[in-house]
Amino acid sequence: METVGAFQIFVGALARFWPVWLALAIVLSASFLYRKKLGLYGQLFDSGVGIAGVGICFFWLFTALFSAQIAPFNPLAQVAIMKDAMPGSIEPSSGQVYLFGGDKLARDVFSRMVFGSQIVLIIAPTATAFALMVGITLGLPAGYYGGRIDSILSFLANLVLAFPVILLFYLLVTPGIMDTPIPYGLAGLFFLFPIIFFSALFWTRFKDRPDRIYLLLALTLIIGGWIYAGLVFDADPLGIISIRPNQLNIFVAVVFASSPGVFRIVRGLTMDIKTRDYVAAAQTRGESPWYIMLWEILPNARGPLIVDACLRIGYTTILLGTLGYFGLGLAPESPDWGTAIKDASRLLRSFIHPALPPTIALMSFVLGLNLLADALREQSMKD
C-alpha cells in the first residue's frame, strides 16, 4: 500500500486545520487588541499561561465547529483495504491520505479524532452548566438561611459524595438502567433547575417593572419548556433537540455526581459573603432574601465558580473518556475519544497509532482547561 512520509503527514495534518488557524488568528488578535475592554476575559491575555489556555480551548472549540470541513472522511465510513493501515497510507479509490492511519474497522483515525471533539465539547460543558445550575440554586439558600434547610441539603449532598464515584457511575450508566424510568426521572428533576434559576433571577430584579418582567418570564418558560421537552421527553416539535438514551444517562450521571461539589462551594462562599457590609446594606434597604442571594452574593462569588467550572469541564472530559474506555459511554460506533482509545487498546501491542491521536487530543484539551483555570485563579486573587 502506497504511503507518504512523516513530513508530508505533519504538513497535511496542519493544512487540514486551516479553518481553525484562520478562526484562531481572527479571534485571538481581536481579543488581544481589545483586551482592556473585555473584563476578566481580556485580563487572561496578560499572562502566557492565560494565552496558552485560551488558545488550546479555542483550538478544540473551532475544531468541533469546523469538523465537516477538516475531516477528509466520514468518521463511520469503512474501507476494507485500509484496516489497520499505517499513518500516511493513501486510500486507493479517492487518493486521500489516512493521515493518522486506519483502525481495526478500517475507519480514518484522523477524521474520528476530529469529529470526537464535537461530542466532548457538547456533553462536557453542557453537563457542567447544568451541575452549576443545580449546585447554585441549592447552595445559595443553604448558606444564606442555615438551620434546618442547610442541614437537610448538606446531608443529601454528603450522601452523594460519600458514595464511591466509580460504582455510582457504573450504576447510573450501565446499559440496563436505560430501560428504566430512573434516568428520565432524574433528568426531569435536574433540567427544571435552569428554569427555576432564571425565573427567580428575573423576578427578583424586575418584579416592579411589568414591561420587562412578563417578557423575560415568558421567554424563560417558552425556551426552557422547549429545551425541557426535547431533552426529557424527546418531544421537540421542531426536531432540533434530541438526545439518545445512552447520552441522557451519561448527562444525568455527570450532573448527579458533580452537583454536590458545586453545592458545597456555593454554600461556603455564601456563608462568607453574607457577612459583608454590602449584604447588610441590601438587608437594610428591605431587599428580599432571593434578591440578595442572586444579585448581591452570587456576582461576588463568580471568580471561584468560574475557576471551578473550567476544572470541572476537564474532569468531565476525563470522565467521558473513562466511561468510554470501560464500554459504558456512548454507542460503540461513536467517534468520542474514550471509545476510540478503548477500541485501539485491544490491539495496542500490534498497532499503537490508532490510540495516540484521541489520547493526545483528550490530554491537550484538559491541559488547556487547567491552564485557563490557573490564569483565572491568578486574576481572581488580584481582584
Residues 230-284 pLDDT 10s: 877 777 777 777 777 777 778 888 888 889 999 999 999 999 999 999 999 999 9
Averaged pLDDT, 343-355:
76
Q: Which pLDDT score, from 0 to 100, does residue 199 have? A: 93
CA distance 272 to 260: 19
Could you give the percent of the chain with pLDDT greater than 70?
A: 95
Per residue in 145-186, pLDDT (tens digit) is 989 999 999 999 999 888 877 777 777 766 665 566 777 788
Long-range contacts of 74-79 (CB under 8 A, 24+ apart): 74/111, 75/107, 75/108, 75/111, 75/112, 75/114, 75/115, 75/116, 75/335, 76/107, 76/333, 76/335, 77/107, 77/108, 78/105, 78/106, 78/107, 79/106
CA distance 215 to 234: 27
Mean pLDDT, the chain, whole residue set: 87
Q: Which pLDDT score, from 0 to 100, does residue 174 have? A: 67
Averaged pLDDT, 358-375:
92
CA distance 89 to 144: 62
Q: Is 254 exposed, middle or buried (0-12, 13-18, 19+ CB in 10 A)?
A: buried
In angstroms, the Cα distances linking 41 to 29, 31, 133, 188, 206 are: 13, 8, 22, 34, 28
CA distance 104 to 56: 30
Q: Is the pTM of this model over 0.85?
A: yes
CA distance 50 to 370: 10
Which range among 285-289, 325-329, 349-353, 367-371 shows the weakest confidence by mean pLDDT? Answer: 325-329
Task: Kindly state the DSSP code that residue 349 receives in the 8-state scheme.
Answer: T
CA distance 26 to 34: 12
Q: Which residues contact 14 (CB under 8 A, 6 or more apart)?
A: 21
Q: Which residues contact 282 (CB under 8 A, 6 or more apart)?
A: 291, 292, 296
CA distance 309 to 267: 16
Q: Which range has the top average pLDDT, 34-43, 50-59, 167-176, 312-321?
A: 50-59
Q: Is 237 exposed, middle or buried (0-12, 13-18, 19+ CB in 10 A)?
A: exposed
In angstroms, the Cα distances linking 72 to 2, 25, 67, 75, 101 are: 18, 23, 9, 9, 12
In angstroms, the Cα distances linking 204 to 3, 198, 213, 217, 288 are: 65, 10, 9, 11, 8
Q: In the beta sheet, which residues pair with residue 98? A: 89
| Length of the chain, in residues | 383
CA distance 261 to 17: 37
CA distance 292 to 283: 8
> What is the pLDDT confidence band of residue 1, given thresholds at 50, 70 and 90?
low
Long-range contacts of 146-151 (CB under 8 A, 24+ apart): 146/271, 150/267
3-state secondary structure of 102: strand
CA distance 11 to 132: 41
70-81 per-residue burial string, b: 16 or more CB within 10 A, e: under 16: bbbbebeeebee
Q: What is the dihedral of CA 64, 69, 73, 77, to 10 degrees?
A: 60
